[in-house]
């Protein structure tokens, strides 16, 4: 048997005669022994390339997490930016929708009020008897128009005569005082009906009063237009608009069944007191301005 270690030819011995290797173990499981000469004869560049490959394989896993983290951070930042831009776009879309809804609502209210205004103008008293709570908004809009148009009248008039403090004295003060007069009228009607113990709905009361004030709006529009033509006609139309306020107050009150109970004061006197209070507020707030405009109307400059 040839020894696999030293290649010595042996007989049937179990151990090599030259090197003493176990021939039985070697035969069953030969274990190759590296040849020092072959290891030494291995080229230098082969060992270097193997070392570089091993080192590169060892260092590759350490670089992989950093690249993955960088990619993950990039994705997160991109996702955050996309989310923020999507949020901005959605908020802008929502604002546009809300604005469009408000514009549409304003258009719808304007159309409804215009049809209401034209129908009331033909028969204000008859329409006043049929209005309900749903027309209270139209009543408030009519009163707002009266306040704005009366203030516009004073503003235009004072600007033409060159008055100082134009915006405050010519617009804000008349606007505030007109609002006070209209609110006081509603409050007095409410108080009288409560004293008379009459069942009524406050919103309906506002709707009825606003319905009867529609002709006053037309009178104020004409007054603003006639300032350019004639001060006398313009001031007369302004006075008519305030007279309509008193007429509306009395018409609303007397269409209710007043004095059904034994009240402490007769309904005639309570209504008269309400008119006196409204007239006092009107005189104290706008009396000086109106008297000045009347004197201007009577002057040669006013009779154009």
Higher-scoring residue by pLDDT: 129, 95: 129
Helix axes 136-161, 267-298, angle to 10 degrees: 30
In this prediction, residue 19 has a pLDDT band, given cuts at 50, 70 and 90, of confident
Q: What is the dihedral of CA 136, 139, 140, 146, to 10 degrees?
A: 180
Average pLDDT, integer, range 274-290: 84
Lowest mean pLDDT among 129-138, 162-171, 288-297: 288-297
Nearest residue to 202 via CA among 260, 252, 263, 251: 252
Is the per-residue pLDDT at 120 higher than 50?
Answer: yes
Higher-scoring residue by pLDDT: 77, 116: 116
CA distance 192 to 274: 8
Lookup: tokens for 49: 């390339």
| Residues of the chain above pLDDT 90, percent | 32
Higher-scoring residue by pLDDT: 209, 42: 209
Is the per-residue pLDDT at 65 higher than 50?
Answer: no
Environment class of 88 (CB within 10 Å of its CB; exposed 0-12, middle 13-18, buried 19+)? exposed
Q: How does pLDDT run across 91-101, given as a tens digit for each residue?
A: 676 666 666 77
- Give backbone dihedrals phi and psi of 210, rounded to 5 degrees, phi first: -65, -35
CA distance 239 to 293: 11
CA distance 239 to 169: 19
């Amino acid at each position: 048997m040839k020894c696999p270690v030293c290649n010595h030819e042996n007989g049937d011995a179990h151990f090599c005669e030259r090197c003493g290797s176990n021939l039985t173990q070697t035969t069953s499981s030969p274990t190759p022994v590296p040849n020092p000469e072959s290891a030494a004869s291995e080229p230098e560049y082969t060992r270097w390339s193997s070392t570089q490959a091993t080192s590169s394989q060892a260092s590759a896993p350490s670089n992989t997490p950093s690249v993955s983290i960088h990619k993950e951070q990039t994705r997160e930042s991109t996702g955050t930016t996309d989310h923020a831009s999507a949020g901005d776009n959605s908020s802008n879309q929502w604002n546009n929708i809300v604005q469009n809804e408000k514009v549409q609502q304003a258009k719808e209210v304007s159309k409804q009020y215009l049809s209401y205004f034209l129908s009331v103008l033909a028969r204000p008293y008859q329409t006043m008897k049929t209005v309900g709570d749903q027309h209270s908004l139209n009543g408030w809009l009519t009163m707002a128009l009266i306040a704005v148009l009366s203030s516009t009248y004073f503003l235009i008039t004072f600007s033409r005569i060159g008055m100082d403090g134009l915006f405050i004295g010519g617009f804000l003060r008349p606007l505030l005082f007109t609002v006070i007069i209209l609110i006081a009228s509603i409050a007095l009607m409410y108080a009288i009906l409560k004293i008379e113990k009459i069942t009524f709905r406050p919103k309906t009361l506002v709707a009825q009063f606003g319905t009867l004030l529609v002709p006053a709006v037309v009178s104020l529009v004409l007054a603003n237009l006639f300032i350019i033509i004639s001060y006398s006609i313009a001031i007369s139309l302004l006075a008519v608009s305030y007279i309509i306020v008193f007429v509306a107050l009395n018409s609303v009150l007397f269409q209710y069944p007043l004095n059904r109970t034994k009240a402490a004061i007769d309904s005639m006197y309570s209504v008269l007191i309400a008119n006196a209070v409204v007239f006092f507020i009107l005189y104290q707030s706008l009396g000086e301005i109106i008297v000045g405009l009347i004197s201007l109307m009577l002057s040669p400059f006013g009779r154009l």
